[in-house]
Amino acid sequence: MINKTILFLIQTSHWIFIILCILSSFLVVIFEPFWVSVPILGLIMHLGFSKVLDCPWTRLENHYRKKVGKPTIKTFIGHYLKK
The pLDDT, as a whole number, for residue 12 is: 93
- Which pLDDT band holds residue 54 (cuts at 50, 70, 90)? confident
**DSSP string covering 18-81:** HHHHHHHHHHHHHHS-HHHHHHHHHHHHHHHH-SS---HHHHHHHHHHHHHTPPP-S-HHIIII
Render pLDDT for 29-47 as a digit per residue (tens, 0 to 9).
999 999 999 999 998 888 7
The DSSP call for residue 82 is I
The dihedral region occupied by 78, where left means phi > 0, alpha psi between -120 and 50, and beta the remainder, is alpha
pTM above threshold 0.85 = no
Percentage of the chain beyond pLDDT 90 is 37
Whether the CB-CB separation of 62 and 75 falls below 8 Å is answered with no
